[in-house]
Each structure stands twice: as structure tokens, then as C-alpha cells.
Chains A and B, each alone.
Chain A
Amino acid sequence: MSEQPRIPRPPHPYSGKLIIVEGIDGSGKSTQLLLLHKWLESKGHRVFFTEWNSSELVKDTTKRGKKNKSLTPTTFSLLHATDFASRLYHEILPPLKAGMIVLADRYMYTAFARDVARGVSPEWIRKLYSFAITPDMAFYFKVPIEVAVSRLLGGTRGQFKYYEAGMDMNLSPDVTESFRIFQSNILAQYEKIVDEFQLITIDATKDIESQQNNMRLLVGEALKDYKPRRGTHGRRTVFWRRFEEPKSE
């Protein structure tokens, strides 16, 4: 991979805000995003949520490919890019253009970390996602591999899934060991990405409340100049109390 400094991508031109979270499985990023979602809504914001690998277009195909273990690193990567493109077009851009807040659980950085750990070219994957817009805020939940493993095994998740554990790469016949090796490779990729794309690192070993407080502080700061879509007429300080925004369904 070239070590040349990359030209930073320009911010998106839309009036809404895009906030995304990244991290390996078991880092607690989804919990944190859910709590942020609650907080933003309690402040009267209209918030949209979108999740990695959830579009109607390819969800079933990905599921089928995973089930019969026929996905190669390239098709795995392209299917997720298709999912992302479809969600960007249908779920992310419209609310952003309308001036609303969009929260995304995983973004293109997941592909940069995971697909490269699986063996695709780092240059190729970045070009593939060149149509993506730059988020306003990107949080990376940093956690040591052992903490993630014990959270997942101790939780409701049970056994690791085939692709999640990187079993397609023949790293180890033992699924937990394979998960450990594969996710450690992903962590190493994330470390590079944090620098390259200036992600905000959150120490995900801390307790849930203090991580969330930290996050709310940073988001609150970033939204200081954000004008919610409905008319402000110069009275921004009391805006949130003046309007009752409909709750997200």
C-alpha cells in the first residue's frame, strides 16, 4: 500500500449531519449508537438510522452466499458495496439533503478494515467506495481482542458465525481461535484507518455510561452550529423547546 498522504475527501454539501460508528464485533459500538439515538431524539431531533448489510436489494443474496459458503473475498466485498450503495441512495442521502440527522452503524471503513484483512487490495477497496460521502463524525470504538471475545462468548451471541470468524480464510480449524486471529487482523487495519481518515477513537473498555457521556459531549459540540431543518428564525437557542418534533417510528 502506498504511504503517500491522501488528499482528504471534501465534506458533503448537505445540510443534514451524518454520524457513524466503527469497531470490531463486540466493541459495543451498536449499544453506544442506540444510546446516542435516544439522546438526540429526546432533544427533539428527527433521526434516521441505517445499518451495514441491511438493504432489501442484496440482503437475501448475501445470506444465501454465506450459508452455502460460496462467497470469495471479492464477491463478499462487492456485495457489501452494493448494499452500501443502495442504502446511501435510498436511506442516507434523502434525509441528509432534507437537513436531518443520519446515524450509521458501520460505514465504508468496515470494508476497508475487514475486506483488506480478507485479502482484497487496499487501493481497490478505496476506489470502490469513492462515491461515498464523508461523515460529519466518525467514531471508532477501540477494544482489545480478548475483551471483544469474552463479551461475545459471554453474551447472547453464542457460537461465532463462519464469515464473522473468518473461517473462509483457513486461519484455524477452531472457530474461536479463527475469530481471534481474523479480528486481530481487522484491528490492525482499523489502526491504520484511524490515522488515514481521522476517526475519533473512543476507549471501548470503559463503562458504558462514561463512553456515552464522552460521545454526547463531542456530538453536542459538533452540532452547535447545526440548524435543524424546520425554521429557526434566529432563535436557535430555544429552538429545541419551541418545536415538538415527531418521534422516529
Chain B
Amino acid sequence: MVDAQYFGDGLKNLNPSDLKGKLIAIEGTDGVGRSTHIEMLQEWLEVQGYGVLTTGWTRSNLMSKTIEMAKEGNILDRWSFSLLYATDFADRLELQIIPALRSGFIVLADRYIYTALARDFVRSGNRQWVRDVFGFALVPDLVCYLRIDIETLVLRVIETKGMNYWESGMDLRLGSDLYDSFKKYQSLLIEEFDKMAEEFHFEVIDARKSPDEIQDALRSKIQPLLTTNLRSPELPSDRHIQPA
């Protein structure tokens, strides 16, 4: 990450340009197939010999259970809602993402801070505070945004796993039932993602296409990053063994 930088007020004890790896974020609303594509990308990269770490939203050791419990309570205020996710992200950033980048891994992030920015904006109508909160986040080398329109998304979610409380933004009471609420909430998120796509220069990928076409599109965006400034991670046997 040669020109690496933080979004805002960064981690004071870390210079991000020391990081050798590449940070790639895959964004998009619920139900666009992010995790399937990340699995396929990991396979593709590892076959080529690249070290890969995948990291997913809310999957930190510290916070995953806490967030689940908080969601069951359904009583989150706007601030703790965003701060819980920020804590989860910070835990993964400092204990997983940065160490991996330092060792030259490619980090595939299933969702990144843009998810939190969109969700907080839909809830508060204000963009600044949550952006300040996530100021310590590294700017990724590449953000691929799997874009889908609301009509296609609704059909796809109904066909697959169905709609749930949080994905429908039911805490916002946007509609009278799950369907109406899902549609309104996800439309607002898509609208905000579209705005951020311009502001933060996302690579937009049409997620209505077939999985193969989407995967090809993702690979063609990632390929140019691989040729520059990246070394394969060293095997343990390559290291100098220090006398005890």
C-alpha cells in the first residue's frame, strides 16, 4: 500500500505506507452474493501463490457475540449502533488486517466502513459524525461495489434466504410490514452507496449478471493490483534462524 492513508484521524503509532499487502473491499447491500464471490477470489489468488486473509463485518473475536446480543435486544440507539460496528472493525483492523498487510497478504474484506457510513446516514441524516468515528480506517487499495437495483434484490432475497428484521431496517419503521420496510430501507442504502461510489471511486460491478460474469469482472479489477509492489509471503524456512 504505497500511497496508503487513513480516512481521517489515523492510528498514531502506525505509518500505513509501511504495509506491503493489498487491501481490497467488496461492498454491496445484503443479498448481492458478496461472500460467494470472496470465496472464489480467495481460491483464485491462492492458486496464483498469493497469501490471502478474508475478514468479514461483525466477525471479530471481541465483538461478534456482543453485536448478536445487542441485535436481539432491538434497542440500539444510533450512536451505540455505529460504535459497536466501529469497535468490531477496529479489533479486526488492528489484530488481523494490519498484521496481514504488514506480512504482504492480500486482504479481502467482506464489507468495509462504507456499510457503516450508509447505515448511519440512513438512520441519522448526517454524514459527518460516523465518518469521524471511522477516521482510523485505512483507505483500501480497491473497493468493488456489487451494485443491484431494488426490484432485482427483492426477488433474489425472497427466493433465497428471505427477509430479516435488521436487513429490513425494521428499527426505522419505514414500512408497515417486512416487505415494504425492506424495500424502502434497501433503496435508501443503495442510493447512499451510489453517491459514495462516485465520491470514493468505487469500481462498480453489475450484480444482476450471472455469477461467472461477476467473478470475471472482479478478477479484471483486481488483476492490475497484483503486478505491483507485492511479494509472495515468505515460507517459515526462508527466515533466518536466530541463535537462541
Contact = CB atoms under 8 A, between A and B. Distances in A.
Interface in A74-120: 74-75, 78-79, 81-82, 85-86, 88-90, 119-120
A45 B86 CA distance: 38
Interface stretch (A46-54, A121-129, A135-143, A228-236): A121-129
B83 interface: yes
A58 B83 CA distance: 11
Nearest to B136: A74
B13 A124 contact: no
Interface stretch (B4-12, B30-38, B110-118, B234-242): B4-12
A57 interface: yes
B135 A78 contact: no
Given A61-B66, A124-B9, A78 B90 contact: yes
A116 to B, nearest CB: 10
A130 interface: yes
B61 A86 contact: no
A70 B95 contact: yes
Interface residues of B, number: 29
B80 A57 contact: yes
B225 interface: no
A127 B62 contact: no
B76 to A, nearest CB: 8
Interface in B193-228: none
Given A124-B8, A131-B129, A74 B83 contact: no
B10 A72 contact: no
Contact of B62 (A57, A61, A81, A89): A61
Contacts of B94: 72, 74-75
Contacts, number: 83
Given A120-B12, A121-B12, A131-B129, A78 B66 contact: no
Interface in B124-143: 129, 132-133, 135-136
A75 B90 contact: yes
Nearest to B126: A131
A57 B70 contact: yes
Interface in B26-50: none
B191 interface: no
A75 to B, nearest CB: 5
A166 to B, nearest CB: 15
A219 B65 CA distance: 42
A71 B61 CA distance: 11
A121 B10 contact: yes
Given A70-B95, A72-B90, A72-B91, A78 B83 contact: yes
A65 interface: yes
B79 interface: yes
A124 B83 contact: no
Interface in A129-178: 130-131
A90 B73 CA distance: 13
B9 A121 contact: yes
Tell which of B66, B83, B129, B132 has the most Cβ of chain A within 10 Å: B83
B83 A85 contact: yes
A57 B79 CA distance: 12
Interface of B: 8-13, 61-63, 65-66, 70, 77, 79-80, 83-84, 86-87, 90-91, 93-95, 129, 132-133, 135-136
Given A82-B80, A119-B12, 5 more contacts: A60-B66, A82-B83, A124-B9, A127-B8, A127-B135
12 contacts: A57-B70, A61-B62, A70-B91, A74-B90, A75-B90, A82-B80, A82-B83, A82-B84, A89-B80, A121-B136, A127-B133, A131-B129
